[in-house]
């Protein structure tokens, strides 16, 4: 066997391919499978960062890389495993500062060990062809002409399904910002921490190498490193939480309220980030939070997220939110963070854009209306409900609120906000605050 054949495969690239395989074969979520893969390959520090960039970038940008790969093939049919290797190679060549020879040779070695000798020559030839043009040149070759089909051009250039581009454009209401929004979806998100009041302070998180966020008084952006290495995070006194998500929890806690303020409900609490922040805020006021989640395994995640809260300050329940286990009017404050398409968090969930379809909206919006009605029945007169989604899609946001209010005569909308990645540096969180009369 030649020395070239015996050369060991680069471990970060092998790990990145494992992530792509899990996402494709097992419908895994990249952000959840990444820690497992890193532990398996014993990768930390810069190597772990390389795996994250390779895997997330290749998945996120496949809507652009696949047409480029296909343009370099004489026969368009590829084994899925080979296409995964080519996506990783294309990402290194077009979007990373990896020398061409390194990107090509490591990809050839990777396909030899993961698939076999057969496709090695094809991978070499395709990546060499890709390397002869830069990203802008390839976009001009494979994307529709921007002058005649601007949204179609952006869909390919920014690697979003066309229906998603159209839906986001409708939500924005202004095509002039559309390119900025799509580009923000493709930017690697910052790691943001939330100091849970009464358990951790912003100053403590800053001392771990972070800087304060602009919008949330509890937020700190971690400048580098593994967040699990921060003591407050490891102990559950702080958590990784997007600033927009923190603002939703604050909208629940800060909404003006008359009378009793003792019983709070998070109706759809999994995986527990908002519930942990809400629970800390509630405990500081002598209130008790019920964190409710339909799926038992997600309820377990909620309990883990809330483990540092004072004993007796919260309950975690598993059950169907559409059939509540409590009497009407039980709660003073309710959050319904409804299941949604997640199109406002595409920068954090690179595979989500490829898994959703337009027909998902009908099922989701029906459920969202049911859950909002349950939340409004669960709150006492004079109490407040915050309806939130990590989606800016009008069908899931304003349309749901309008539909529910249109059939009720006991509820007023008192506040609303929509955040955007390109404007606010957060996920595109929507929140509407409603009050029972």
pLDDT, tens digit, for every residue of 7-46? 677 999 999 999 999 999 999 999 989 999 999 999 998 9
Q: In this predicted model, what pLDDT tens digit does every residue of 201-221 receive, in sequence order?
A: 999 999 999 999 999 999 999
Q: How far apart are CA 401 and CA 263, in angstroms?
A: 23
85-95: average pLDDT: 98
One DSSP character per residue, 260-281 reads: ---EEEETT-TT-HHHHHHHHH
Q: Are 265 and 282 in contact (CB under 8 A)?
A: no
How does DSSP assign 89-106, residue by residue? HHHHHHHS---HHHHHHH
Residue 7 is predicted with a pLDDT of: 66
What is the average pLDDT across 52-73?
Answer: 97
Q: Mean pLDDT of all residues in the chain?
A: 95
Note the pLDDT of residue 124.
98
390 carries an active-site annotation:
yes
Tokens of 65: 């890389």
The pLDDT value recorded for residue 1 is 40
**Pair type for strands 430-436 and 411-418:** antiparallel
Residue labelled with tokens 């966020």 = 213
Q: What is the largest CA-CA distance in the chain?
A: 80
Q: What angle do CA 292, 392, 156 make, to 5 degrees?
A: 125
Q: Could you tell me if 60 and 30 are in contact, meaning their C-beta atoms sit under 8 angstroms apart?
A: no
> Over 60: is that where the pLDDT of 308 sits?
yes
pLDDT band at 226 (very low <50, low <70, confident <90, very high): confident
Query: Three-class SS of residue 291?
Result: strand
Distance separating alpha carbons of residues 39 and 61, to the nearest angstrom: 25
Least confident interval from 71-80, 213-222, 239-248, 399-408: 71-80
* Mean pLDDT, range 150-165, rounded to an integer: 98
Token pair, residue 114, equals 């993961």
Of the residues 72, 268, 340, 390, only one is catalytic, namely 390
pLDDT digits (tens, 9 = 90+) for 126-146: 999 999 999 999 999 999 999
The reported pTM is: 0.94
3 pLDDT band, cuts 50/70/90, is very low
Considering Cα of 126, then 131, then 137, then 138, what sign does the dihedral take?
positive
């Amino acid at each position: 066997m030649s020395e070239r054949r015996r050369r060991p495969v680069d471990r970060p690239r092998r790990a990145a391919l494992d992530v792509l395989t899990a996402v494709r074969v097992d419908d895994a979520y990249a952000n959840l499978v990444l820690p497992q893969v890193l532990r398996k390959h014993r990768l930390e520090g810069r190597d772990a960062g390389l795996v994250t960039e390779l895997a997330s970038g290749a998945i996120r940008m496949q809507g652009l890389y696949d047409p480029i790969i296909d343009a370099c093939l004489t026969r368009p049919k590829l084994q899925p495993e080979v296409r995964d290797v080519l996506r990783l190679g294309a990402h290194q060549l077009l979007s990373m500062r990896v020398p061409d020879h390194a990107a090509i040779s490591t990809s050839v070695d990777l396909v030899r060990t993961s698939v076999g000798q057969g496709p090695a020559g094809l991978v070499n030839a395709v990546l060499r062809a890709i390397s002869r043009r830069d990203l802008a040149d390839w976009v001009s070759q494979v994307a529709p002409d921007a002058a005649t089909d601007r949204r179609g051009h952006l869909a390919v250039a920014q690697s979003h399904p066309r229906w998603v581009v159209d839906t986001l454009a409708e939500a924005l209401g202004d095509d002039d910002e559309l390119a900025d929004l799509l580009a923000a979806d493709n930017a690697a998100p910052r790691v943001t921490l939330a100091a849970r009041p009464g358990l951790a302070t912003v100053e403590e998180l800053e001392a771990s190498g972070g800087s304060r966020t602009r919008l949330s008084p509890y937020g700190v952006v971690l400048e580098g490193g593994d967040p699990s290495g921060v003591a407050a995070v490891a102990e559950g006194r702080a958590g990784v939480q997007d600033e927009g998500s923190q603002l939703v929890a604050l909208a629940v806690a800060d909404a003006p309220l008359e009378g009793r303020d003792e019983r709070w409900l998070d109706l759809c609490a999994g995986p527990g980030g908002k519930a942990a922040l809400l629970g800390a805020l509630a405990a500081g006021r002598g209130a008790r939070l019920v964190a409710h989640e339909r799926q038992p395994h997600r309820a377990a995640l909620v309990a883990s997220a809330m483990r540092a809260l004072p004993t007796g300050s919260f309950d975690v329940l598993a059950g169907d939110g559409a059939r509540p286990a409590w009497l009407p009017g039980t709660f003073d404050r309710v959050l319904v963070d409804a299941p949604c398409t997640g199109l406002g968090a595409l920068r954090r969930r690179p595979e989500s854009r490829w898994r959703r379809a337009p027909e998902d909206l009908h099922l989701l919006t029906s459920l969202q209306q049911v859950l909002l009605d349950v939340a409004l029945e669960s709150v006492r007169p004079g109490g407040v409900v915050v309806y939130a989604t990590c989606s800016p899609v009008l069908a899931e946001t304003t349309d749901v609120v309008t539909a529910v209010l249109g059939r009720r005569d006991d509820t007023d909308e008192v506040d609303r906000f929509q955040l955007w990645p390109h404007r606010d540096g957060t996920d595109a969180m929507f929140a509407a605050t409603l009050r029972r009369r």
